[in-house]
A and B are shown apart, each in its own frame.
Chain A
């Protein structure tokens, strides 16, 4: 059953802690993305990766870090430097975004306590 998965669905973090959000896909897509969505808002791009071992900052990368060691996995770490991390985080993948659509995971809702 092909698709893109995110875990956990809900995550609670204390101020000052780093947390890592998981994103895995078995679609054999080269490109992967992380977006942040705030209530009633659109999606803002955090980081994206076009290929393994390569990634670029999006529009709101400060306070976040990523790695792309495997084609299937693109974990996002929300660091303590991110001052307002409470949001809905969406991961997506695509064969080639210049030609094809993105496939989205179900999202992770992060809340800072």
Chain B
């Protein structure tokens, strides 16, 4: 079964608003990553947060990690139409083998 589960499955907002996506996982992790995918394209890495970190920022992106709740959130501030894409969380942990497990993703639509 999938390790990461994103919430919501889909999100529609106006340009300029903030978008928040959540990810929950089940087992211990070494790190958690967020990726973006435009329709029909490969994934692009956004942020990696390690299990001993609680928050990371990159430009308009803010990621938090709560290992006690086994959850993470991705915040995109001041969204733009170009942010329209699918966003995936992915977790790496050694309990299930040396592999990264992806969730089903959140589809974000930003209206201009």
Contact A106 B48, beta carbon cutoff 8 Å: no
Which residues between 21 and 61 of chain A lie within 8 Å of chain B, taking CB atoms? 31, 33, 35, 40-45, 48, 50, 56, 58
Which residues between 70 and 113 of chain A lie within 8 Å of chain B, taking CB atoms? 88, 90, 92, 97-107, 109
With contacts A42-B105, A43-B88 known, is A97 near B100, CB below 8 A?
A: yes
Report whether over half of chain B's contact residues are helix, strand or loop; otherwise say mixed: strand
Q: A109 CA to B102 CA in the complex, in Å?
A: 19
Contact B44 A42, beta carbon cutoff 8 Å: no
Contact B98 A98, beta carbon cutoff 8 Å: yes
Q: Is B94 an interface residue (CB 8 A)?
A: yes
A35 contacts across to B, CB distance below 8 A: 102
A103 contacts across to B, CB distance below 8 A: 45
With contacts A103-B45, A104-B42 known, is A98 near B101, CB below 8 A?
A: no
Q: A98 CA to B30 CA in the complex, in Å?
A: 6
Q: A92 CA to B44 CA in the complex, in Å?
A: 11
Contact A104 B94, beta carbon cutoff 8 Å: no
B90 contacts across to A, CB distance below 8 A: 102
- B105 and chain A: residue at smallest CB distance: A42
Q: Is B41 an interface residue (CB 8 A)?
A: yes
With contacts A45-B101, A48-B99 known, is A97 near B92, CB below 8 A?
A: yes
Q: A90 CA to B86 CA in the complex, in Å?
A: 15
Shortest Cβ gap from B53 to chain A (Å): 13
